């Protein structure tokens, strides 16, 4: 197959593919056989009508069109491989021209823009929050653990905020009881604000046996009547105080895998630090990307931005569908108009595309490659998540495997980028976020100054 490539612009090529008459004829014959199975032709069983009869029914143009459609995928893939072109979008047919007994097919190919030079990124300082866990945070987390094992104990005293109160409640309007507004033996946590508006304030200071009457709005559970002002009557039946277990080695050994309070504190502090460190790493990644993206001066083809917008929108709509929400309902609930939503979509798409171009350029400049083993590992993981056999799953991926390869390449480029920059705190002092063994030999971890 003869292929000619010409420039259409900075990011577009025109591939001209020559299809010989012999190749086209064979494809037309195959198309005729396929059509003879699909089209009902009087006097012939499905699949047995000769080509000339099929052509008389569907027309010569239909045969040629189906033949070219069959030939194009393999021809385009071969031409792209020979020309070493990597399309950013699916190649599109621009024109089909008859030549001699064959045809020339002109294919428009949109390419990924490339940076002429990659911005210098090594040893850049990126400010992040210091991932330290202070004593108050640690104590608060331990108290939450104790709260999970708390017990309620009846007390003979007035209600204070945080107590649990057993109540009977009823509501009336102009002296008439309201149907379905009577509750008995309801255990209410004061201060939670989770029930009727104003009830917490009414209960504070009351004791068991007290009766409280006050006006307030019906809660949301009453449909059209929600918000209607009524009179509530509350009988305080019992006051319960939440008692947290004492923080002792004995309690720790009973309810956790640790033997002492100190062991539990140490493990908890380590895990909380790791969570904060992950947040700081995200700041580091976003920080260096923002710096480099701001320095990029690169025109992006509109088709690439549009394709990424479609991808983001499809993914978002699918997530909403899983929650039983339409995109229209989402815009209404969030108060967004369509124009603002599309503007935000375009902004996100532009950033995604620029990030991919940046990381692809870094990978190329740094000689980063993706091995077959790395691709197989990711594909196997995806297959397991889908509950599929790896070989079957990989076969179905087809050309989408290139997308997996691209994702791995950009991830490796981002890892290298993060390893090459210097995280600092708000005072400008260097801090350690990445263990030394994970950094390149020429990028040693810095000690906190």
pLDDT surpassing 80 at residue 224:
no
Task: Work out the average pLDDT over 21-50.
Answer: 89
**In the chain, where are the structural domains located?**
3-110, 151-243, 261-438
pLDDT surpassing 90 at residue 393:
no
Q: How far apart are CA 395 and CA 407, in angstroms?
A: 19
Task: Assign 163 a pLDDT band (cuts: 50, 70, 90).
Answer: very high
Task: Assign 1 a pLDDT band (cuts: 50, 70, 90).
Answer: low
Residue 102: CB atoms within 10 A of its CB come to 16
Radius of gyration of the chain (CA): 34
Q: Reduced to 3 states, what is the DSSP secondary structure of residue 254?
A: helix
Domain 151-243 top-level CATH class? alpha beta
Beta-bridge partner residues of 217 = 229
Q: How many residues does the chain have?
A: 449
DSSP percent split of the chain into helix, strand, coil, nearest 5? 50, 20, 30
User: Which residue, 35, 38, 40, 26, is CA-closest to 55?
Assistant: 35
Q: How far apart are CA 233 and CA 169, in angstroms?
A: 6
CATH of 3-110, one of 3.30.70.1050, 2.30.42.10, 3.30.1330.10, 3.40.640.10: 3.30.70.1050
Q: How far apart are CA 348 and CA 6, in angstroms?
A: 32
Task: Assign 399 a pLDDT band (cuts: 50, 70, 90).
Answer: low
Percent of the chain with pLDDT over 90: 60
Q: How far apart are CA 357 and CA 220, in angstroms?
A: 50
Task: Work out the average pLDDT over 350-372.
Answer: 94
Q: Which helix (H) or strand (E) holds 404?
A: helix 401-420
Tokens for 270, please give them.
Answer: 């380590």
Q: How far apart are CA 155 and CA 430, in angstroms?
A: 54
Q: How far apart are CA 362 and CA 368, in angstroms?
A: 8
Instruction: Rounding to the nearest 10 degrees, give the CA dihedral for residues 253, 256, 261, 265.
Output: 160
Longest dimension (CA), the chain: 104
Q: How far apart are CA 110 and CA 301, in angstroms?
A: 8
Q: How far apart are CA 15 and CA 96, in angstroms?
A: 12
User: Which residue, 307, 301, 273, 287, is CA-closest to 414?
Assistant: 287
Contacts of 68 (CB under 8 A, 6+ apart): 19, 24, 27, 96, 103, 105
Q: How far is CA 82 from CA 17, 77, 93, 414, in A?
A: 12, 9, 18, 30
Instruction: Please say whether the beta carbons of 171 and 233 come within 8 A.
Output: yes
Residue 280 Rama label (left phi>0; alpha psi -120 to 50; beta): alpha
- What does pTM read for this prediction? 0.67
Q: How far apart are CA 286 and CA 284, in angstroms?
A: 6
Q: Reduced to 3 states, what is the DSSP secondary structure of residue 300?
A: coil
Q: How far apart are CA 407 and CA 379, in angstroms?
A: 12
Determine which of 126-140, 260-274, 280-294 has the lowest per-residue pLDDT on average: 126-140
Residue 45: CB atoms within 10 A of its CB come to 9
Strands 125-127 and 422-424: parallel
Instruction: Rounding to the nearest 10 degrees, give the CA dihedral for residues 199, 203, 208, 211.
Output: -60
203-221 pLDDT per residue, tens: 999 999 999 999 999 887 7
The predicted pLDDT at position 227 comes to: 85
426-436 pLDDT per residue, tens: 889 888 876 54
**Residue carrying structure tokens 């491989």:** 81
pLDDT surpassing 50 at residue 437:
no
Task: Work out the average pLDDT over 386-404.
Answer: 82
Tokens for 194, please give them.
Answer: 């989770």
Task: Assign 62 a pLDDT band (cuts: 50, 70, 90).
Answer: very high
CATH 1.10.3120.10 fits 261-438, yes or no: yes
Q: How far apart are CA 269 and CA 149, in angstroms?
A: 20
Instruction: Please say whether the beta carbons of 129 and 427 come within 8 A.
Output: no
Q: How far apart are CA 219 and CA 232, in angstroms?
A: 12
pLDDT surpassing 50 at residue 46:
yes
């Amino acid at each position: 197959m003869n292929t000619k490539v010409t420039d259409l612009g900075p990011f577009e090529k025109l591939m001209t593919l020559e299809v010989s008459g012999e190749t086209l004829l064979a494809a037309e014959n195959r198309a005729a056989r396929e059509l003879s199975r699909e089209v009902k032709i009087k006097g012939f069983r499905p699949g047995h009508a000769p080509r000339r009869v099929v052509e008389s029914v569907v027309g010569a143009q239909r045969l040629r069109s189906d033949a070219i459609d069959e030939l194009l995928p393999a021809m385009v893939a071969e031409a792209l491989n020979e020309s070493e072109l990597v399309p950013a979008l699916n190649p599109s047919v621009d024109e089909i021209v008859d030549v001699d007994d064959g045809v020339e097919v002109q294919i428009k190919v949109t390419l990924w823009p490339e940076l002429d030079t990659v911005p210098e990124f090594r040893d850049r300082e990126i400010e992040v929050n210091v991932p330290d866990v202070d004593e108050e945070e640690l104590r608060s987390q331990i108290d939450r653990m104790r709260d999970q094992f708390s017990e309620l104990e009846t007390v003979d005293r007035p209600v204070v905020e945080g107590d649990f109160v057993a109540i009977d409640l009823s509501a009336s309007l102009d002296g008439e009881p309201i149907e379905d507004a009577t509750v008995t033996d309801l255990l209410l946590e004061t201060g939670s604000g989770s029930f009727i508006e104003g009830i917490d304030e009414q209960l504070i200071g009351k004791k068991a046996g007290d009766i409280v009457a006050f006006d307030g709005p019906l809660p949301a559970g009453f449909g059209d009547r929600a918000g209607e002002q009524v009179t509530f009557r509350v009988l305080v039946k019992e006051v319960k105080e939440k008692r947290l277990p004492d923080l002792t080695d004995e309690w720790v050994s009973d309810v956790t895998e640790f033997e002492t309070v100190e062991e539990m504190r140490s493990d908890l502090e380590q895990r909380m630090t790791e969570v904060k460190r992950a947040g700081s790493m995200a700041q580091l990644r976003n920080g260096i990307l923002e710096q480099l993206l701001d320095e990029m001066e690169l025109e992006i083809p509109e088709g690439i931005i549009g394709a990424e917008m479609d991808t983001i929108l499809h993914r978002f709509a699918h997530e909403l569908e899983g929650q039983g929400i339409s995109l229209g309902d989402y815009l209404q609930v969030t108060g967004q108009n369509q124009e603002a939503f599309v503007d935000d979509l375009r902004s996100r798409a532009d950033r995604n595309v620029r990030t991919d171009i940046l990381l692809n350029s870094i990978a190329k400049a740094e000689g980063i490659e993706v091995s077959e083993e790395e691709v197989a590992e990711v594909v196997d993981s995806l297959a397991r998540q889908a509950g599929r056999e790896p070989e079957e799953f990989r076969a179905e991926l087809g050309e989408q495997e290139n997308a997996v390869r691209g994702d791995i390449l950009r991830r490796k480029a981002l890892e290298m980028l993060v390893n090459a920059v210097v995280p600092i705190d708000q005072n400008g002092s260097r801090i350690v976020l990445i263990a030394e063994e994970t950094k390149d030999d020429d990028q040693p971890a810095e000690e906190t100054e």
